[in-house]
Chain A
Amino acid sequence: MDATAKLRVDHLKAGYDGKVVLEDVSLTVAAGEIRVILGASGCGKSTLLKTVIGLEKPLGGEIEMLGTKVDWSEGRPPTAQLRRMGVLFQGGALLSSLTVGENVSLPLRIHNPGLPRAVVEDLVRVKLGQVKLGHAYAKLPNELSGGMRKRAGLARAIVNDPELLFCDEPSAGLDPVTSRGLDDLLLELRESLGITMVVVTHELDSIRTLCDKITFLAKGKVVFDGKLDDAERNGPQAVKDFLARKSAPEDGKARSLAFNLEDA
């Protein structure tokens, strides 16, 4: 086993409302790596992310984050562990009643109530600058575009200098230019802050820009785990087809209708 691994998922079984979505999922993410989790819609990517970040309790298996096994004995993962990670949600998940600045400062204010307000403000401005959103400090989330909301969500996710950053569909719903900008931003953050990242996406352009390794899920199972080049050359056919943008065969069959035709 890799001792420098920032995230280790071992034989994970996960689901919700009594439904098993993931079965026997294992993966290891090394320090400084960008791992892309991909697969077609409904394959269990989001369930994997929700379980790893502690929003859903695993039904079986183990998760080790930042060198410590995630302990669910108190009904939720330990605060100390959660504070060392950051999450960028699909729509940004900014609190709509707070300004961008208040949203980004929220984890700091809650966890460090004694911190002087001016210091918090300065730190928030630095983080907003890192995501190129310095001008939006006093704006409300509903005054921002989709891409700006995601960047604000990213600023909030990195405000505590996390060692591990999870991103859920960072480029979903964005135009190609904004999407590319966000991918570049993630790469810059990895370079400047050395953050290990787990990115869930099915956008092929993002995958090619970002990933060091991919984990491909299909029907709740890992069908490929390794480098993108390997997947394209030696991966299972389903993975090759996905990466080559070939559509998967549809479920079910179709039959022709035999009409009775007569000439007039």
Chain B
Amino acid sequence: MNDQTVELPEEISPEWVSREHSRLMEGARDVGLKLDCRRLRKLDSLSTAWLAHLQETLSRSGKKLVLVGLSPELKEDLAKVTLPEFPKEEAKPVPPLPERVGEGAFGLFVEIRDTLVLLSESLYWSTAALFKPKTLLREDAIIQMVRLGSSAMPIVLLLSTLIGFTLAIQSGIQLQKFGATVFLASGMGISMVTEIGLVMTAVILAGRSGSSITAEISTMVVQEEVGALHSMAINPIHYLVLPRFWAMSLTMPLLTLLSAASGVFAGMIVGFFFFKLSPASYLAELRGAVSLNFLGQALAKSLTFSWIIALVAINKGLNVRGGADSVGKATTSCVVTCIFSIILADAVFSFIFYY
């Protein structure tokens, strides 16, 4: 069979290669390829690499690439072209499923262990700081309280109020059918204090403050700032972890109470305007329904959620390896892990308080 002959243009441009390459290879697969280079004026990096690729591919399938009419200068240029030979990288075998499951489970175990170690160290150093108050970095803790807690207040209040409105309207309509709108206050009180206010606040702080902690600490790791702390004999637990641990522990229960109060207040407004429920009867019903026991449960849960957010976020940040992409991955992973852990812990608390 005869080779197919193709005339090359004066210059082999990226557009020309993109347009013609597949068609040429298709035709050359069976009969080889003859390139008429009489018009060709220049061989740049792309055209040289393209010719080398054609030569290699065709010779592997036993076909020939012939260059016709190449000028003496271009022949000289082409003679200088060499192709580096890289050792073949062996493809990593994919481990079997049980091994991958085992690795995943071990990774999870290590992460939980590290977080618990961080918790124990935080509690230890917090207790130690009570006896040596000068060692507590008060200013740093206050800065973190403002950054992680106080500045989240507007969004927590806004979202809790909106949820309160929605919840009150939906439940009020159902209660109205039975003439029991007076129970709107107890329903709103119990649900906002023990569940919705808590979980709402925790999820907002996981997304807002948790991600901020992870991003900040992981960037510090990547920029060797944490290494610098180690080299100055400064314990990162003391300098990085404690201020954030204290800030989250103190601000989150307060934010939770504010969130619950704003939801309950939204319920009162809905009760007054939609269901003719006077604020006095709403508040009286609320006082009877929401006992101190419920408030205690809410505070215990919110304290636990604050620890989950702070410690998961710090742990994710401290364990970052690599560059900027690792910071992004760690931040995403922090938010997902925090929200999952909060929901799981909430379920566990429900069992504990129920029994």
**Interfacial residues, chain A to chain B (CB-CB below 8 A):** 17, 50, 53-55, 76, 79-80, 82-83, 85-87, 89-91, 93-96, 106-107, 110-111, 113-114, 153, 156, 166, 252-257, 259-264
Chain B residue at smallest Cβ distance from A17:
B321
**B13-57 CB contacts (< 8 Å) to partner A:** 34, 36, 38, 51-52, 55-56
Chain B residue at smallest Cβ distance from A250:
B84
A254 to B83, CA, bound (A): 5
A113 to B133, CA, bound (A): 10
- A83–B233 touching, CB < 8 Å: yes
Interface size on B, residues (CB 8 A): 40
- B231–A253 touching, CB < 8 Å: no
Chain A residue at smallest Cβ distance from B56:
A257
- A55–B227 touching, CB < 8 Å: yes
Chain B residue at smallest Cβ distance from A111:
B233
Q: Choose among B84, B228, B238 the residue with the greatest number of A CB atoms under 10 Å from its CB.
A: B228
Note all chain B residues with C-beta closer than 8 A to A80. Answer: 233
- A254–B231 touching, CB < 8 Å: no
Note all chain A residues with C-beta closer than 8 A to B34. Answer: 262
Residue B67 lies at the interface, judged by CB distance under 8 Å to chain A: yes
- A257–B83 touching, CB < 8 Å: yes
**B117-164 CB contacts (< 8 Å) to partner A:** 134-135
- A260–B230 touching, CB < 8 Å: no
Chain B residue at smallest Cβ distance from A166:
B231
Note all chain B residues with C-beta closer than 8 A to A91. Answer: 223-224
Q: Choose among A50, A259, A262 the residue with the greatest number of B CB atoms under 10 Å from its CB.
A: A259
Known A-B contacts A256-B79, A259-B51, A260-B67; the reply to A82 vs B233 at CB < 8 A is yes
Known A-B contacts A55-B230, A107-B232; the reply to A259 vs B67 at CB < 8 A is yes
Residue B75 lies at the interface, judged by CB distance under 8 Å to chain A: yes
- B134–A257 touching, CB < 8 Å: no
- A254–B69 touching, CB < 8 Å: no
- A93–B225 touching, CB < 8 Å: yes
A87 to B230, CA, bound (A): 10
A93 to B84, CA, bound (A): 39
Note all chain B residues with C-beta closer than 8 A to A17. Answer: 321
CB distance from A49 to the nearest CB of B (A): 10
Note all chain A residues with C-beta closer than 8 A to B233. Answer: 79-80, 82-83, 107, 111
Among B64, B86, B220, B232, contact of A260 (Cβ-Cβ < 8 Å)? B64
